[in-house]
Amino acid sequence: MLWTILSIVVSVAALGVAMYFYRWVKALPSAGSEIERIGKLIRDGAFTFMKREYKILGTFCGVVAAIILLVYPKPVWTAEGNALHNLGMAACYLFGATLSGTAGVIGISIATIANIRSASAARDGLAPAYAAGFRGGAVMGMAVVASSLFGAGVLHLLTGDSNAVMAFSFGASSLALFAKAGGGIFTKTADIAADLTGKVELGIPEDDPRNPAVIADNVGDNVGDVAGMGADLFDSNIASIAAAMVIAASLQGGNMIELLFCYCALGLLASILGVFMARIGKSGDPGRALNGGTYLTCGIFAILAFAATAICDFPMRVWGAAMIGMIAGVIIGFTSELFTGDDKKPVERVAKACQNGPAFTILSGISYGFLSALPSLAGIGLSALLAYKICEPVGPGYAMFGISIAAIGMLSVVGMIISNDAYGPIVDNARGLAEMCGLGDEVLEITDKLDSAGNTAKAITKGFAIGAAGLTVIALLGAFKELVEAANATINLNLMNPLVFFGALIGAAVPAVFSAMLMLGVDRNSRVMVKEIHRQFDNTPGLREGKVLPDYGKCIDIATRGAIRELIPAGLMAIVMTLLVGLIGGVNAVGGYLMGNIVSGLLLAMLMSNAGGLWDNAKKFIEAGNFGGKGSDAHKAAVIGDTVGDPFKDTAGPSINTQITVVSLTSSLAAGLFAAISLIH
């Protein structure tokens, strides 16, 4: 139990680091009352949304917990001892949901402080502004990883039951699914409405205080990108631990659960060290600081894990699997950068296509998005295959365990990755505050530089998150099989079994339907908001001239109500489809369903994230003065591309990861149910 305890210790230390950074950022000076006032508007908007969202999610989680209490793993009415067992499961579920929710609140809380501090610090130069942004992000990074590892460690210590960790993970995932979908809808509703009315119709710059949607847009960065992405990686992290635990529990000999906690603890430790060392050097390049920190963390983890494996006499092949995962994660992340980086060919080509009008913008962006799927999918497939093969000689069952350890290896540096990622919306907000409060061009130049590095970090994180989800769900498929066999049922996941094929076809359609529902939600909501902005401009004398301030609250309210209304149906659809397929076709159909879901989900996630990033950067490339620059026809076409890309890359695309994970966990939890009752066997 040494490593389980140590991982709890490291988690507590990481929480301490998070608290230290929180205070450090909070203690930084602010630039005056105006920035405080607007910062407070953003903060209040974000908390209003979170409160209303969590109220709905609380009800949802309560209902699910009640269902678990009644029937999971065994109906309370069938035997006397069941009630207590079910109560434990329901508690684990709620524990997961609560921790995941808390991490989101912590993230929002620090992000809406760090944005002010970073904008203020930008008056003193790049380095202090960067530090405020990055350390703010690190609070989120540390809090997410520490709380997930803490939860898993405590539950393992208390129960020793991998199913309890599975229920914990399901709690975190179901919250993450809705948080991501809700935040994604909120942020893009506001972003699209603000851009279309402000930049396109009225010709006022981004973040102009006259735009009624401008505060909602900045709120959206926080609830979508900070809370949403944090929940997503919380979910992947804990799901990868749960999958590895289930498979490890089925292994003969070798204390593989210890090894898994060992790697998680060392990964978090490496992230702590990495976060402290990711300083901006003399180069003054924030992008290099972020990437340098990631590489450093990887290096530290590799060495620490090697040493621990040697000292504790764990099989060295398992360490190899972890390294395969880690390297694959970095490569997949940087592949996304290859397709979306603003100094790379695809961005230039899409920008060039904009000169021929919006239709070509869309066609070329989608085409490059399609192309970008191949290296990532091949990378995930290859790393799973290698991890399997490298661990196969260790012993029976170790091959599949290798895949789950590759996922753990990939997620080892997740603390650092989330820190980098949360940095993005913080400095994006800082830019907005600098613009709205008129801090001057020099400050804007610095925040622009910080923001640009943030966008790149965001693209890398997305690729990384998709890769991590990919390996995790492959491992979860292995866990699903173990759980079916533990329920004494037979499973035949052969492709020649028509139930497998039937499931695969339906599973493949689910991410498409899920994405469509989210995008149609954004579409509906932003149209409502555009109407509201028009109403304000038409009915508020002096607003156009900047003499009167708009009613920001109205737009925040529209985005909130819309997101709340849309967030449940899409997620519920994915869960209900899983149950339907299982109840019709049993465990074999579910196996195929997971396969189809994973394969098509990863494909669509890559397409949408990368096409969206590409359009965003093509627009920026043109705005930098290429192909006619701002205001040209090419620019107008690029703005249309960017608007299509917004829900692609920030609503649907990154939510698919979570959808896949939730579906996989639902299947695992309901494995016994499907094995017992199904229409066709």
**Residue written as tokens 């389980």?**
4
For its own copies, which is the closer residue by CB, 87 or 573?
A: 573
- Least CB distance from residue 527 to its own copies, whole Å? 6
Residues 231-290 that bind its own copies (CB under 8 A): none
Count of CA atoms in the C-beta half-sphere (13 A) of 12: 7
Q: Which of 35, 257, 602, 665 binds its own copies (CB under 8 A)?
A: 602
Range 463-491 burial, b when 16+ CB lie within 10 A, else e: bbbbbbbbbbbbbbbbbbbbbbebbebeb
Indicate whether 395 belongs to the interface with its own copies (CB under 8 A).
Answer: no
- Least CB distance from residue 512 to its own copies, whole Å? 4
Residue 498 to residue 586: CA distance in whole angstroms: 12
Indicate whether 406 belongs to the interface with its own copies (CB under 8 A).
Answer: no
Residue 326 to residue 409: CA distance in whole angstroms: 5
For its own copies, which is the closer residue by CB, 136 or 571?
A: 571
Indicate whether 607 belongs to the interface with its own copies (CB under 8 A).
Answer: yes
Site string for its own copies, 279-318 (x = CB under 8 A): ----------------------------------------
Question: Between 633-647 and 162-194, two packed helices, what is the crossing angle to 10 degrees?
Answer: 150
Q: Which of 503, 562, 571, 582 binds its own copies (CB under 8 A)?
A: 503
Q: Which stretch binds its own copies (CB under 8 A): 141-149, 274-282, 430-438, 596-604?
A: 596-604
- Is 244 in contact with 475 (CB distance < 8 Å)? yes
- What secondary structure letter does DSSP report for 122? G
- Least CB distance from residue 396 to its own copies, whole Å? 13
Q: Which stretch binds its own copies (CB under 8 A): 102-110, 333-341, 355-363, 553-561?
A: 355-363
Residues 451-470 that bind its own copies (CB under 8 A): 470
Indicate whether 351 belongs to the interface with its own copies (CB under 8 A).
Answer: no
Q: Which of 92, 251, 484, 519 binds its own copies (CB under 8 A)?
A: 519
- Least CB distance from residue 473 to its own copies, whole Å? 11
- What secondary structure letter does DSSP report for 205? P
Q: Which of 595, 618, 660, 665 binds its own copies (CB under 8 A)?
A: 595
Indicate whether 508 belongs to the interface with its own copies (CB under 8 A).
Answer: yes
Residue 497 to residue 340: CA distance in whole angstroms: 40
Indicate whether 574 belongs to the interface with its own copies (CB under 8 A).
Answer: no
Residue 678 to residue 681: CA distance in whole angstroms: 7
Residue 408 to residue 616: CA distance in whole angstroms: 32
Residues 81-110 that bind its own copies (CB under 8 A): none
Helix (H) or strand (E) holding 340: helix 316-340
- Least CB distance from residue 375 to its own copies, whole Å? 9
- What secondary structure letter does DSSP report for 204? P
Residue 87, exposed/middle/buried by CB under 10 A (0-12, 13-18, 19+)?
A: middle
Indicate whether 407 belongs to the interface with its own copies (CB under 8 A).
Answer: no
Sequence-ordered list of residues with C-beta below 8 angstroms from that of 527, at least 6 positions apart, any chain: none
Indicate whether 327 belongs to the interface with its own copies (CB under 8 A).
Answer: no
Mapped onto helix, strand or coil, the DSSP state of residue 27 is coil
- Residue 131 neighbours by CB distance under 10 Å: 20
For its own copies, which is the closer residue by CB, 306 or 360?
A: 360
Angle, alpha carbons 532-536-541 (nearest 5°): 170
Residues touching its own copies: how many (CB under 8 A)? 80
Indicate whether 473 belongs to the interface with its own copies (CB under 8 A).
Answer: no
Indicate whether 324 belongs to the interface with its own copies (CB under 8 A).
Answer: no
Residue 397 to residue 239: CA distance in whole angstroms: 19
Q: Which of 307, 316, 363, 549 binds its own copies (CB under 8 A)?
A: 363
- Residue 648 neighbours by CB distance under 10 Å: 29
- Is 423 in contact with 290 (CB distance < 8 Å)? yes
Q: Which stretch binds its own copies (CB under 8 A): 22-30, 373-381, 547-555, 659-667?
A: 373-381
Residues 479-498 that bind its own copies (CB under 8 A): 481, 492-496, 498
Indicate whether 576 belongs to the interface with its own copies (CB under 8 A).
Answer: no
In degrees to the nearest 10, what's the CA dihedral of 244, 250, 251, 257?
Answer: 40
Q: Which of 312, 316, 378, 624 binds its own copies (CB under 8 A)?
A: 378
Long-range CB contacts (within 8 A, 24+) of 369-372:
369/339, 369/606, 369/607, 369/608, 369/610, 369/611, 369/612, 369/614, 370/607, 371/339, 372/335, 372/336, 372/338, 372/339, 372/606, 372/607, 372/610, 372/611
- Least CB distance from residue 359 to its own copies, whole Å? 4
Indicate whether 562 belongs to the interface with its own copies (CB under 8 A).
Answer: no
Indicate whether 513 belongs to the interface with its own copies (CB under 8 A).
Answer: yes
- State CA 380 to chain mean position distance: 18
Q: Which of 501, 540, 583, 628 binds its own copies (CB under 8 A)?
A: 501
For its own copies, which is the closer residue by CB, 202 or 512?
A: 512
For its own copies, which is the closer residue by CB, 152 or 391?
A: 391
Site string for its own copies, 520-559 (x = CB under 8 A): x-xx---x--x-----------------------------
- Least CB distance from residue 537 to its own copies, whole Å? 16
For its own copies, which is the closer residue by CB, 400 or 422?
A: 400
Residue 558 to residue 556: CA distance in whole angstroms: 6
- Is 272 in contact with 237 (CB distance < 8 Å)? no
For its own copies, which is the closer residue by CB, 115 or 335?
A: 335
Indicate whether 344 belongs to the interface with its own copies (CB under 8 A).
Answer: no
- Least CB distance from residue 364 to its own copies, whole Å? 6
Indicate whether 9 belongs to the interface with its own copies (CB under 8 A).
Answer: no
Residues 178-207 that bind its own copies (CB under 8 A): 192, 196, 200
Closest CA to 417 of 232, 254, 195, 681: 232
Residues 641-680 that bind its own copies (CB under 8 A): 643-644, 647, 680
Q: Which of 353, 410, 436, 479 binds its own copies (CB under 8 A)?
A: 353
Q: Which stretch binds its own copies (CB under 8 A): 243-251, 271-279, 333-341, 506-514?
A: 506-514
- Least CB distance from residue 583 to its own copies, whole Å? 15
Indicate whether 384 belongs to the interface with its own copies (CB under 8 A).
Answer: yes
Indicate whether 139 belongs to the interface with its own copies (CB under 8 A).
Answer: no
Residue 92, exposed/middle/buried by CB under 10 A (0-12, 13-18, 19+)?
A: buried
Looking at residue 398, its amino acid is Y
Residue 182 to residue 52: CA distance in whole angstroms: 11
Indicate whether 172 belongs to the interface with its own copies (CB under 8 A).
Answer: no
- Least CB distance from residue 664 to its own copies, whole Å? 13
- Is 37 in contact with 65 (CB distance < 8 Å)? no
Indicate whether 638 belongs to the interface with its own copies (CB under 8 A).
Answer: no
Indicate whether 12 belongs to the interface with its own copies (CB under 8 A).
Answer: no
For its own copies, which is the closer residue by CB, 278 or 508?
A: 508
- Is 344 in contact with 466 (CB distance < 8 Å)? no
Q: What tokens appear for 526 in the block?
A: 């932003």
Q: Which of 12, 303, 359, 548 binds its own copies (CB under 8 A)?
A: 359
- Report CA-CA distances (Å) from 305 to 19, 272, 320, 326, 408: 26, 15, 10, 12, 12
